[in-house]
Every structure is written in C-alpha cells, then in structure tokens.
Chains A and B, each alone.
Chain A
Amino acid sequence: MKQSFKLAGLAALMSVSALPAMSQKAAAQEKIKVGVIVSLSGAGAVLGQQARDGFNLAVKDLGGKMGGKDVEVIVVDDELKPDVAVTKVKGLLERDKVDFVVGPIFSNILGAIHKPVTENKTFLISPNAGPSSYAGKECNPYFYVTSYQNDQIHQILGNVAQKRGYKKIYLMTPNYQAGKDFVAGVKMDFKGEIVEESFIPLGTLDFQAELSKIASMKPDAVLTFMPGGMGVNLVKQYKQAGLLDRIPFLSTFTVDESTLPAQQDAAIGMFGGSNWAPTLDTPQNKKFVAEYEKAYNSVPATYAFQSYDAAMLINSAVVAVKGDLSDKTKVAAAMKKADFPSIRGGFKFSNNGYPVQDFFLTKVAKRADGKFQTEIVEKVFSNYSDRYAKDCAAQ
C-alpha cells in the first residue's frame, strides 16, 4: 500500500516537473535564447564583465530583437573552474534550452564546454579563447570564434622584433601551457638570439629579481605574455625599475583596457599585439566605443568588442534564416557567411570557423580625459588566417 502511494506521488511529481519543461519548449520557439558563460568571479572577473557588457550592449542596439523575435540573454559565471563550467553549461542546454552559447574567456574552460555544447548541436561562439585544438582537424560546424587564433597574437611580437632588427631579446612568461605557446608563437618569425627564456611560476607577483637580471643583461627588447594581476605588477615594477626608457617592452594580454585602470602611467609607451584598438578607424567602432563608455563608464577592451561582434554574428544568422532555427545546416551556413558589419571592419571566417582579419601593433597612451587606452601603431598582418585551417576538413 505504502509502496503504491510512493509511486503515485512520484508519478505526480514527474508530471508536474514535465509541465514547465514542455511550456519552456513552446516558449523557445517564440524567442531566441542565448546563454552567455564567462568568468565573472576570480582572477578573470574583469574580462568576463567586459564580455558580458559588450554582448548586452549589442542586444540593446538591436532593440532586444533578432529576426523579429525577442532575445533572452541568460548570463552564468564559470568561476574560471572547468568543472563548474560544465555543470553551468549543461544547465543552459538542458534546463534553459538555449539556441546559442557565447563564451568563454579562457581556453581551459573552452576545453571543458566545447564537447557538451557542440554534441548537443547547439552553436558555440567564443568571444575570446581561440586555442589551436579546435582550429585544425577538430574543427566543428557548431563552433565559431570572433577573436583570433591564440598563436597569431604572439606571432605579432616576434614579427615586429624581427622587422625592427633586434639582435637579442629576453622572453618572460608564466610557466604553463599558454606560456609555452607564447614562446613558440614568438619564435615563428623571430630569428635573432633569445638571451633568456624565463618561465615564471604562476602567481608570482614580485618581479624585482627578474628585472635586475634584465638590467644586467641589457637585451634589445623584452617580450612578454603576462596576463591579469601578474601583468599589472610587472608593468608597474618595470617602470619603477627605470627600465622603460631603456629597453622596449612588447607584450601580449599584458597591457589592455582591462588592466590599464590599475597600471595607469606606468604602462604609457608599452607595446602590445592586437586585432583591434579603441582608436581603430571604422564607423562601427567609433559608435561602439562611445556607447560602451557611456553605458559602463570604462574604456572597452578586446573582450567587449569581440563579444559585441558575437551578438551581431548571431543576429546575422537568425535574420538570414528568418528566425527559423530548426534547420541547423542552414543556420551553420548563415553563420559561416559572417554577413554583418564587424566593429573591426573587414572580417570573415576561415573554413575552420576562426576569423580572417588584420593584426596590429598597439601602444598605450593617455587620453585627453585622463583615461588610458591602446592605440594602433602599425598594421602587422593583413587578412591573416591561422596556420591550422589547412588541416580542417570543412570547406
């Protein structure tokens, strides 16, 4: 008797819980659902906030609609932990039944969520992370990148160092996979002598011992990849050690608009590699930068603009299929066309879903209003595609 009561209760529960799922499914056809998964806490919080804000700004610019349908944006925090990211992204796919997932910021998180999202035949658009792992053989029709392939940014520095005729350079990077990619990226174009490959333990905050060594070795330039808080410290200490006036500082992901509020004057004159800068001269970019600054009271960094482009990319695909997302092949074909006015101007996808675009050397400057930003010094690569695309079977 008791047993059957339990069973009846269970059946009742199941029918109740099945109801909202059904009604959600019906609702999903009336509006476009986008899940945004970025790091909003921990060391990468600022980058995630920029990506989230850039995406929301784009949706606002679109009047909250894509292809005539209302857009619902669901933002979740991956906490910069791969296991948390998997749980959260499964929530987006199974509970919220999103049509698109935008994220993440970091490559290791992408490694965790790429499979669950693409296997669910849901489109994944990365507004930042662009590892080589999904650019070659493992390319996927459900995966698009609006940023760059990671190696390309590092390659800019090696290329510039070679062109400027530096004879000996000093490399400095955290001791983990991305740091090794940095060294490999620099070596692609730089043929001179590398006097030191300095792999710093992750989390190092005081670089004085390293800086003393640089001062005594007197290289022609220091090339570094030092993201986040490590970069903030390195930049300040580099300037304090009096090295900035003597040895050029070329970096990737070390001086940008997300770190400049903390680095301020110490970063002025430092070089970076990028696919964009707030000063990039396109009408879309001028409008974007002005709107972003007005809405969030800070200068946008690449994370914000790439995320804005991700929203515009989704919109272009939804419009092309007239809001009917049922035929995934059609949607994929529309996505690949990248038929939208990118903030960076010229932009299209290579066969692997990674961008073909221009790359620049940038330099930090102080604006008239006292805020800091990167500015374009010169174009380094034009319409540049990554070197893994040839291994991708898709055409």
Chain B
Amino acid sequence: MTLTLALVQILNGLQFGLILFLIAAGLTLVFGVMDFINLAHGVQYMVGAYLVAAFTTMTGSFVAGLALALPAALLFGLLLEVLIFRHLYDRDHLDQVLATFGVIIFLNQAVKYVWGAAPLNVAIPDALSGAIEITDGMLYPVWRLVIIAAGLAVGLALYLVVNKTKLGMLVRAGASNAAMVSALGVNIRLLFTIVFGVGAMLAGFAGAMVAPILSVEPGMGDNVLILAFVVIVIGGIGSIRGAFIAALLIGLVDTLGRFFAPTLLKLLLDPSAASQTGRAIAPMLIYILMAAVLFFRPSGLFPSKQ
C-alpha cells in the first residue's frame, strides 16, 4: 500500500514537473537567446487558460477550444512582442523588469474586466474525465495522465527541433552568442520574434492543459512564474534540456517533500505538529535545492553560454 502511494506521488511529481517545463521552456529561450527578462511570461500562461475557457464555452468542445486557443495564444504573444517587448531588448534589465511587471498588472486587470473576477470552469472532455484504479482504492485521474503524455510529447518535439533542425541550430547559436549570429547575417530580430511567439504559445498550452484542474482566475500566472524562474536558474539559462531536467526535479522534490516530510517528522514530533511543520518545510525544499545547485554550479546544470 505504501509503495503504491509512493509510486502515485512520483506520478504526481512528474505531472507537476511537466507543467513547469512547458512554462519554463519559453522563458529560458527568451531569457537565454534575447537576454530579456520577461516577468509577463506567467501572464501568458493565464491568457492561455482564459482563451481555452472562452473558446470551449463558445464551441462546446475542449478539443476545438484548444485548437483555437493555441493559435490565439501565439498571436497574442506576437502582438505583445511587437507592441511592447521589442522596444525593450536594448534597455537594461531593470527597465525590462519594470515594463513587464506593468504588463502583468495591466493584463490581470484586463481579464477581470472582460471575464469578471469569479473563477471560470473548463470541463474535461467526457472520455478523459474519469479516474483509473491503479490498485484497490487508489485512483488516478485520466486527465493528469493526458498532461503527462502531452508534456513528454512537447519535450520530445522541442528536443528534435532544437537539436536537429536549422532553426534549432540558430536558436542554440543565439543562446550562446547572439551578437556573433547577427554578424554572420542571420536576421536575429525575426529569430527573436519566432522564439518569443513559440514561448508564449507553450506557456498558453500549459495554461490550457491545467484549466480543467485548476480554477481559471486573474493572477493565476503569478505563482507559477516564480517556480518557472527557479527552473531556468537550476537548469541553466537558455537550455531546453536543462529546463526539462530541472522542471522534473522540482516537481518531484516539491511533491515528494510534501508527502514524506510530515511522515518523517512524525518520528520526532507529535502527529499534529509534524503534519503542520512538515507541510511548511516542504515548499522550502526547492529553494534549498536551488541554493545548492548555484553553490556547486553557478551557471546552472546545463549552461548554454560558455
């Protein structure tokens, strides 16, 4: 029984990690290739969730809603890039932080204005809404397995694009030395725009996939943004591979920490205190992990800049 529970918790950690990966993948490329700090990345995750909620209500089907939401998230990302972010690439990091923070506030209010402050509901397609029984009494929601599969598929696709195509080669080159790539005659601005659009779409995809599990509400992207930054710092800025491994690491450490910390503390403290402290300690573990990684490898696990 305990072994099954531990396995189920590993599955939970994996699923959480893959969602983080979808968000962090775009962030790490934007940061790595363009040296641009985009705090508004979390908002794109929120926009993805709202778009899928709106289109699902409109079409009556989640699949159709998702199919419409992805291009819309891409367009929205490109729009932001052209209107706002493009003008910030040459400014210093503090200006970028200020401006993109402003975008967060603006968009959080904007979705509230359009859709209201109440959380929205997105229904899971009927075929995927149940739970499968792993062992006696232990059920696992099918939708979370779908998220795991989708996350792995996107990870594989990104790996192939970044490592096996010309575009991917340019992205990798841009991440290690953007000025040199530009000097060799590559239209770096266009490359930036593509990377930005894809990054925004991936964050939107993550938002769309969690929309049926989590409530779609203003400000939902603010919390995940911090975790996404932790992921890219641990993984090494600009590295997709680093983001993938760091995201899974964080997902597992966070979930298993919440599970094991109270159990282990019960050996030392009384049950009520153990339950309380255990769950309070668990969220700290990822930051301890980050500190440890930075101590031993200051530029992350897989740095893309040499």
Complex CA–CA separation, A218 to B5 (angstroms): 12
The one of A175, A213, A229 that contacts B276, using a Cβ cutoff of 8 Å = A175
Is B38 at the interface (CB under 8 A from chain A)? no
Q: Which residues of B contact A218 (CB under 8 A)?
A: 137
Across the interface, do A213 and B259 meet the contact criterion of CB distance under 8 Å? yes
Which residues of B63-83 have CB atoms within 8 Å of chain A's CB atoms? none
Is B149 at the interface (CB under 8 A from chain A)? no
Is A263 at the interface (CB under 8 A from chain B)? yes
Q: Which residues of A contact B214 (CB under 8 A)?
A: 205-206, 233, 236
Complex CA–CA separation, A259 to B216 (angstroms): 12
Is B161 at the interface (CB under 8 A from chain A)? no
Interface-central residue, A203, A208, A218, A243, by most chain B CB under 10 Å: A208
Is B154 at the interface (CB under 8 A from chain A)? no
Is B9 at the interface (CB under 8 A from chain A)? yes
Closest partner residue, chain A, to B119 (CB atom): A262
Closest partner residue, chain A, to B19 (CB atom): A206
Complex CA–CA separation, A246 to B136 (angstroms): 12
Across the interface, do B118 and A258 meet the contact criterion of CB distance under 8 Å? yes
Shortest beta-carbon distance, B38 to chain A, in Å? 22
Is B127 at the interface (CB under 8 A from chain A)? no
Across the interface, do B215 and A232 meet the contact criterion of CB distance under 8 Å? yes
If A240-B143, A259-B119 touch, does A199 touch B215 (CB 8 Å cutoff)? no
The one of B4, B8, B121, B280 that contacts A201, using a Cβ cutoff of 8 Å = B280
- Identify the stretch in A41-49, A110-118, A357-365 within 8 Å (CB) of chain B at 4 or more residues: A41-49
Across the interface, do A215 and B259 meet the contact criterion of CB distance under 8 Å? no
If A203-B223, A240-B141 touch, does A198 touch B117 (CB 8 Å cutoff)? no
Across the interface, do B121 and A264 meet the contact criterion of CB distance under 8 Å? yes
Closest partner residue, chain B, to A46 (CB atom): B118
Q: Which residues of A contact B118 (CB under 8 A)?
A: 45-46, 258, 261-262
Is A241 at the interface (CB under 8 A from chain B)? yes
Is B110 at the interface (CB under 8 A from chain A)? no
Chain B residues touching A, range: 35 or more
Across the interface, do B139 and A199 meet the contact criterion of CB distance under 8 Å? no
Complex CA–CA separation, A242 to B220 (angstroms): 25
Which residues of B208-234 have CB atoms within 8 Å of chain A's CB atoms? 212-217, 219-220, 223
Is B293 at the interface (CB under 8 A from chain A)? no
| Per-position binary interface string of chain A over residues 29-71, scored 1 when its CB falls under 8 Å from any chain B CB and 0 otherwise | 0000000000001010110010000000000000000000000
Closest partner residue, chain A, to B135 (CB atom): A216
Complex CA–CA separation, A380 to B258 (angstroms): 36
Across the interface, do A233 and B213 meet the contact criterion of CB distance under 8 Å? yes
Shortest beta-carbon distance, B268 to chain A, in Å? 17
| Per-position binary interface string of chain B over residues 289-303, scored 1 when its CB falls under 8 Å from any chain A CB and 0 otherwise | 000000000000000
Is B138 at the interface (CB under 8 A from chain A)? yes
Across the interface, do A201 and B279 meet the contact criterion of CB distance under 8 Å? yes
Across the interface, do B212 and A197 meet the contact criterion of CB distance under 8 Å? no
Q: Which residues of A contact B8 (CB under 8 A)?
A: 212
Closest partner residue, chain A, to B132 (CB atom): A242
| Per-position binary interface string of chain A over residues 186-227, scored 1 when its CB falls under 8 Å from any chain B CB and 0 otherwise | 000000000011111101011011101101101000000000
Is B102 at the interface (CB under 8 A from chain A)? no
Complex CA–CA separation, A218 to B135 (angstroms): 13
Complex CA–CA separation, A213 to B212 (angstroms): 22
Is A373 at the interface (CB under 8 A from chain B)? no
Is A237 at the interface (CB under 8 A from chain B)? yes
Across the interface, do A261 and B139 meet the contact criterion of CB distance under 8 Å? no
Shortest beta-carbon distance, A166 to chain B, in Å? 18
Complex CA–CA separation, A229 to B259 (angstroms): 23
If A199-B276, A240-B141, A261-B118 touch, does A209 touch B213 (CB 8 Å cutoff)? no
Q: Which residues of B contact A236 (CB under 8 A)?
A: 121, 212-215
Closest partner residue, chain A, to B276 (CB atom): A199
| Per-position binary interface string of chain B over residues 118-161, scored 1 when its CB falls under 8 Å from any chain A CB and 0 otherwise | 11110110000111010001111101100000000000000000
Q: Which residues of A contact B304 (CB under 8 A)?
A: none
Across the interface, do A201 and B144 meet the contact criterion of CB distance under 8 Å? no
The one of A41, A196, A263 that contacts B275, using a Cβ cutoff of 8 Å = A196
Across the interface, do B117 and A49 meet the contact criterion of CB distance under 8 Å? yes
Across the interface, do B120 and A262 meet the contact criterion of CB distance under 8 Å? yes
Across the interface, do B215 and A229 meet the contact criterion of CB distance under 8 Å? yes
Across the interface, do B9 and A212 meet the contact criterion of CB distance under 8 Å? yes
Closest partner residue, chain A, to B129 (CB atom): A240
Q: Which residues of A contact B60 (CB under 8 A)?
A: none
Is B193 at the interface (CB under 8 A from chain A)? no
Which residues of B88-135 have CB atoms within 8 Å of chain A's CB atoms? 112, 117-121, 123-124, 129-131, 133
Complex CA–CA separation, A237 to B30 (angstroms): 33
Interface-central residue, B4, B133, B215, by most chain A CB under 10 Å: B215
Shortest beta-carbon distance, B53 to chain A, in Å? 10
| Per-position binary interface string of chain A over residues 115-131, scored 1 when its CB falls under 8 Å from any chain B CB and 0 otherwise | 00000000000000000
Q: Which residues of A contact B138 (CB under 8 A)?
A: 212, 215-216
Across the interface, do B131 and A242 meet the contact criterion of CB distance under 8 Å? yes
Across the interface, do A175 and B279 meet the contact criterion of CB distance under 8 Å? yes
Across the interface, do A262 and B215 meet the contact criterion of CB distance under 8 Å? yes
Q: Which residues of B contact A233 (CB under 8 A)?
A: 213-215
Which residues of A231-275 have CB atoms within 8 Å of chain B's CB atoms? 232-233, 236-237, 240-243, 246, 258-259, 261-265
Across the interface, do B119 and A209 meet the contact criterion of CB distance under 8 Å? no
Complex CA–CA separation, A229 to B121 (angstroms): 11
Q: Which residues of A contact B137 (CB under 8 A)?
A: 215-216, 218, 246
Which residues of B258-306 have CB atoms within 8 Å of chain A's CB atoms? 258-259, 271-272, 275-276, 279-280, 283
- 30 intermolecular pairs with C-beta atoms under 8 Å apart: A45-B112, A45-B117, A175-B280, A197-B271, A197-B275, A201-B283, A208-B15, A210-B258, A212-B5, A212-B9, A212-B259, A213-B5, A216-B1, A216-B2, A216-B4, A216-B137, A216-B138, A229-B217, A232-B119, A233-B214, A236-B212, A236-B214, A236-B215, A240-B124, A240-B131, A240-B141, A243-B139, A246-B137, A262-B121, A264-B121
Taking Cβ atoms with an 8 Å cutoff, the residues of A that contact B are 41, 43, 45-46, 49, 175, 196-201, 203, 205-206, 208-210, 212-213, 215-216, 218, 229, 232-233, 236-237, 240-243, 246, 258-259, 261-265
13 more A-B contacts (CB under 8 A) besides A205-B215, A215-B139, A246-B137?
Answer: A43-B219, A196-B271, A198-B275, A199-B279, A205-B220, A206-B213, A208-B15, A212-B138, A229-B217, A240-B144, A242-B131, A261-B118, A261-B121
Q: Please give me the 3 A-B residue pairs with the lowest Cβ-Cβ distance, nearest first.
A: A45-B117, A242-B131, A232-B215
